[in-house]
A and B are shown apart, each in its own frame.
Chain A
Amino acid sequence: MSLDLVRVAEQLPLLLAQLDTERATRGARLRAALARLTQEAARPERWAQRLADCRCRWPLALPLHEDAARGYAAPPPPEAYSVLAVDGSHIDVDRHAPARCFVLNLGWAAIHYGCDLPPELDSAAEVQPSSQPLTEQDSEDASHEDTIRGETLALLRSVRELHQLAQLAAALPGGHPRAALLDGNLGLWNVTQAPISRRLRERLIYDSGGLLPALNTLRDLAGAGLLVTAAYTSAPGTADVVHSLRVAACPLPEVVCTRCPGLSAPPRPCDVVGLTADADLFTELLAPGERSAVFLTRSRAFLRSDTAAAAPWYEQEGHAVAFFYLRLPEELARVEMPVWQAGRPEHVALLHTLLLDQCAKGPGYPIALQEAHEQAVITTVDRRSFAALLDREVRPSPGPGGTAKSRSKATRRI
């Protein structure tokens, strides 16, 4: 038996007791967090200064221009619009396979409403190494090399997704509002903080297929017409706003988390507003269909030496990440966008109403993202078929293929 469910079930009462304890404290924390949000929204300059001066590792967020303590209703959707969504999936490198390679599959959906344009639902698969090496040496350290697999492959995929989004967005017909959507987050911070070599990081950011050209393209398209760009996360676990409320609620004159009195005598003073996620806060604050104020992320990591890190490349290039939360009937979603769009109220309003319309058609989740996912998804059957194809094409001679471990898994014996 692979999982002893009886033993697992025996431990569930403890889990339920822990959840009850958390629920009991959650109500008080929620009331305190809402009160703190109202208080800080009334004096945004003080809040901003407090965040600017603080020394903590939390990702933070500040309201961009709007009152953070209220919700915003959407305008009616336009009669005609186009929505484009891109999603990706991959088969990772398997060292037990006869060849070390990966498959990256990008799927997309372009759907046009209120006009006669046909939808485009398609995908493109890429097998590597065929045009790029699987392992790349660093330019500064000969002993540092990156193999494109695991989390690095996931990074590459997110870069490819944004690049594909920009390319397809450029080909969208104009004449009516358009939206370009990704699943998840914009992925800018992920590339910045990943433990990869400088050469690979720069390739992922600055190469022709990298993040920066894609963001620049999307910015140009937004400037030329009504195109909005966003990354959509269903039921996010992020807590940037809650962290910012923690900073605001800190009793220290200057917030330095390494000097927190809660380190020696828990709980931390800021735990009074310490909700697990922003979703708790905004589910309470927003009515269905409303969005939150737009927030600007401040995701710089501050070192324990109290030295502030330099602004990441995307902030320096004018692509800082902003977001709002969107309250749907069933859940809360996080919608990320570049700051050049967040500062244009008509674009934010358009994105808001288009996402609501897409979620209504979903239902519950943007239909274009669903269809892009369906185009991108690599099923278990697909994975087995690819493994069989690889085995047939690559294995030099007949006989048992793969490693001893992979064969032992394929043939389970008693």
Chain B
Amino acid sequence: MTASLGRVIEASIDRLTAVCHTLDGAPPLGALVVAEDDAPAIYAAVTGALTGGIDPGRRLAPRGGPGDGRAAVLAQNPQIPALLQTTFTATVTGHAGPGGEMRRYLPDAPAPVYALVRAATAVETAALCAEPDYLKLLLTAGPLADEVTAACLRRAAAHQPDSRAFLITSGRALAGLLAAEPDRLHAILRRIRP
């Protein structure tokens, strides 16, 4: 099992937001993560990350001179990392059934708030991507859905025994789902071309 990356602080049926244990510790775009923590696993693909102030009422002020790099600014203001946090959002792509079987559709309930979130293992990634049903959920992942879908497929391909075959199969599935939106289809295909 991989170490946890963060903790769920907000969740709906189709999305979750987690706060990272470490600053700038968000998983990469499209990475598959798992929220479980005493509840059936919920699988989700990372759709965005944000690093900002913990207190929404305090804006970050510009600090340091024009010649000061990030390290110099943080050395002059060592309290700042303690005032920042990194959060990431993820779109739910599937969940584990009562017997642990992979279900590539939305769960009955959101991920529990404060559940730990970790990166999906290679086995879990391969299991989720074994059937293309999860792609339909990815394609509704908000304004960056196409970027998220392409990133997720690129990363998942690395866990497949035959990456090329996986991408071709996924591309065909996308062609069916996006038959009425050829521009979107081509944009995604350009991004996953082996």
Residues of A within 8 A of B (CB): 109, 111-114, 118-121, 361, 367-368, 371, 374, 379
Task: Let me know if B140 is at the binding interface, CB within 8 A.
Answer: no
Residues of B within 8 A of A (CB): 55, 57-58, 75-79, 81-83
Are B55 and A374 in contact, CB atoms less than 8 angstroms apart? yes
Residues of A within 8 A of B58 (CB): 374
Are A361 and B77 in contact, CB atoms less than 8 angstroms apart? yes
A367–B83 CA distance with the chains assembled, in angstroms:
13
Are A367 and B82 in contact, CB atoms less than 8 angstroms apart? no
CB-nearest residue of chain B to A116: B78
Are B55 and A367 in contact, CB atoms less than 8 angstroms apart? no
| Other contacts beyond A121-B83, A361-B76: 12, CB < 8 A | A111-B78, A111-B79, A112-B78, A113-B75, A118-B82, A119-B78, A119-B81, A119-B82, A121-B79, A121-B82, A361-B77, A374-B58
CB-nearest residue of chain B to A381: B57
Are A109 and B79 in contact, CB atoms less than 8 angstroms apart? yes
Between A and B, how many residue pairs show CB distances below 8 Å?
28
Say how far A79's CB is from chain B's closest CB, in angstroms.
11
A113–B58 CA distance with the chains assembled, in angstroms:
23
Dominant secondary structure of chain A at its interface with chain B: mixed
A114–B77 CA distance with the chains assembled, in angstroms:
10
Are A371 and B79 in contact, CB atoms less than 8 angstroms apart? yes
Residues of A within 8 A of B76 (CB): 113, 361
Say how far B118's CB is from chain A's closest CB, in angstroms.
24
A379–B57 CA distance with the chains assembled, in angstroms:
11
Say how far B104's CB is from chain A's closest CB, in angstroms.
41
Residues of A within 8 A of B57 (CB): 379
A328–B81 CA distance with the chains assembled, in angstroms:
27
Residues of B within 8 A of A374 (CB): 55, 58
A299–B85 CA distance with the chains assembled, in angstroms:
47
Of the candidates A114, A367, A379, the one whose C-beta lies within 8 Å of that of B79 is A367
Residues of B within 8 A of A361 (CB): 76-77
CB-nearest residue of chain A to B61: A363
Complex A-B: 7 CB contacts under 8 Å: A109-B79, A111-B78, A112-B78, A113-B75, A113-B76, A114-B75, A361-B76
CB-nearest residue of chain B to A120: B82
A120–B81 CA distance with the chains assembled, in angstroms:
11
Nearest first, the 3 closest Cβ-Cβ pairs linking A and B are A119-B79, A111-B79, A119-B82
CB-nearest residue of chain B to A117: B78
Say how far B6's CB is from chain A's closest CB, in angstroms.
19
Say how far B23's CB is from chain A's closest CB, in angstroms.
11
A325–B58 CA distance with the chains assembled, in angstroms:
30
Residues of A within 8 A of B78 (CB): 111-113, 118-119
A371–B81 CA distance with the chains assembled, in angstroms:
13
Say how far B41's CB is from chain A's closest CB, in angstroms.
33
Say how far A40's CB is from chain B's closest CB, in angstroms.
41
Residues of B within 8 A of A379 (CB): 57
Residues of A within 8 A of B83 (CB): 121, 371
A371–B82 CA distance with the chains assembled, in angstroms:
11
Residues of B within 8 A of A120 (CB): 82
Say how far A81's CB is from chain B's closest CB, in angstroms.
11
Residues of A within 8 A of B82 (CB): 118-121
Residues of B within 8 A of A118 (CB): 78, 82
A190–B77 CA distance with the chains assembled, in angstroms:
34
A119–B78 CA distance with the chains assembled, in angstroms:
7
Say how far A112's CB is from chain B's closest CB, in angstroms.
6
